[in-house]
Amino acid sequence: MCGLICTNYHILQEHVDLHLEESNFGQGIDRVQCSRDLELAHQLQQEEDRKRRSEESRQEMGEFQKLQRQYGLDNSGGYKQQQLRNMEIEVNRGRMHPSEFHRRKADMMESLAIGIDDGKTRTSGIIEALYRYYQNAATDVRRVWLSTGVDHFHSSFGDKGWGCGYRNFQMLLSSLLQNDAYDDCLKGMSIPCIPKIQSMIEDAWKEGFDPQGASQLNNRLQGTKAWIGACEVYTLLTSLRVKCRIVDFHKSTGPLGTHPRLFEWILNYYSSEREGSPKVVCTSKPPIYLQHQGHSRTVVGIEERKNRTLCLLIFDPGCPSREMQKLLKQDMEASNLKQLRKFVGNLKHKQYQIVAVEGVLSSEEKVARRQASQVFTAEKIP
């Protein structure tokens, strides 16, 4: 313990005891210090965890609010509020006269009150114009199949940025209303305005269709800017006794992320006997609702080119009336068709879903489909 030499045993014992006491005291201090260090480290770790959780929570809330804004569920109002807000901006920027603002506001309030679209974004007669064009031109096209007549609807001040699903439903419905086969289930209907479509989907949910989809949208569409997709369009059509199916092209089936199987499916939908039919075939088939992440469009026909490649003809609700009306000119040029034509290389989203109409449901079939929609499953290709 030390170098001290003691004269007798008792002095030695006392000296050793002193050394032992000093040692124990030092160890006690070390233990206390160690305990304090552990406690401090624990506190620092807890503070670090709290900050991390707080940051994660803040990021999650930010992401959630971003998604709410993206999908129109952020309580910022719906079609009416956006229409008024955007028209006020136009007035403030001098692009709309105040008298025009009040006239448009009155028209909108009337449209909302009766639930019928005001027709201001509608262009009719394009399918007929395409028929005339293909009869007389398009030498590079071997054959083309067109759907029944379809009116084009584009987004307005009230639904810009979120209304594509509703506008495509209007396009599809405009075709069904011109088709005698659907008189029974759509009797007396006009093209509904967007808030009316929202209330019709809510009514279908109340009937018991697609409870999972309803839950994801909080069982509410009216007064929101909520996007709708293939499932909501299927739900609404089925509730109206329109027979349709969803097909999910859930992954690429060609090189470079392309979807040739989608094009082949659409060709088979429009064409039955391909050989021996005339160059331009006006089919009895309605258009097809086409959905991908972030946008939806309407397929109104398909070309088979001389080189055997396929090209879809697509109405896009993002395309304004002034562009669509160029297709109505007697001397329409091939360049005007560029906005409609989509080749295999133009459709490269990861996944596409279509809603294709196939006839009318009986009341019993409607009940069976409502039951089947409790767990929604789409037909997958491949």
**Identified catalytic residue from 15, 250, 295, 349:** 295
Helix axes 79-92, 98-114, angle to 10 degrees: 170
Strand bridging mode 295-305 / 152-153 = unpaired
292 part of the active site: no
Active-site residue, from 117, 151, 210, 316: 316
Distance between CA atoms of 75 and 63, rounded to whole angstroms?
A: 16
Give me the sign of the Cα torsion angle 273, 277, 279, 284.
negative
Q: Catalytic: 19? A: no
Residue 316 annotated to the active site: yes
User: According to DSSP H, which parts of 159-282 are helical?
Assistant: 164-177, 183-186, 194-207, 211-216, 230-239, 260-270
Question: What is d(CA 110, CA 103) in angstroms, rounded to the nearest whole number?
Answer: 11
Contact present, 250 and 351 (Cβ < 8 Å): yes
Pairing of strands 122-123, 152-153: antiparallel
Tell me which of 164, 193, 231, 311 is the catalytic residue: 164
Peptide bond into 278 cis (omega under 30): no
Residues with a known catalytic role: 164, 295, 316
